[in-house]
Structure 1
């Protein structure tokens, strides 16, 4: 998350009103529920995890053992099982 100076995006009157409550501190303004992005959506990491998980499932279907996959992907056997049996 990056911080934005309120003076850059908010009207002067609103900044002055906010300063009645808080000055020189960080404030978090949550997203509206319908506009909230899910984990990894902004960074693209969710797509990377999904791609990796599909590779794991395909490798398992092609005969790789759970132990081999755990070692190759540096994950626990439990994590590999969870990925395989989730689909």
Structure 2
């Protein structure tokens, strides 16, 4: 994340208002509600997790125990249980 100096983008009148509330502090200005993206919308992460979860479920159905799956995929046993339950419901 890069920072932009507020003084470089806001007019003096707005800077005077900002200084009344948060002088010398970092603030975060979120995107407008309509401009927000869903988690992993711009990457392949959702697809990769879907493929991983399907593989976990297939391996479980082929007899691999949950502890081995947890170690193989570096997940907790609880996460493996959750993934198997979700995949079973599909």
Q: TM-score w.r.t. structure 2 length?
A: 0.62
Unaligned residue ranges in structure 2 (runs of 5+): none
**Partner residue in 1 for 2:27:** 27
Higher alpha-carbon Rg: 2
User: How far did 1:84 drift?
Assistant: 1.5
User: In angstroms, what is the RMSD of aligned CA positions?
Assistant: 2.8
- Structure 1 residues 56-75: aligned runs within 5 Å: 56-75=56-75
By percentage of residues, which structure has more helix?
2
Instruction: Specify which structure has the bigger relative contact order, considering alpha-carbon pairs within 8 angstroms and separated by 6 or more residues.
Output: 2
**Partner residue in 1 for 2:86:** 86
Number of residue pairs the alignment of both structures matches: 85
**Partner residue in 1 for 2:10:** 11
User: How far did 1:83 drift?
Assistant: 0.8
Unaligned residue ranges in structure 1 (runs of 5+): none
User: How far did 1:69 drift?
Assistant: 0.6
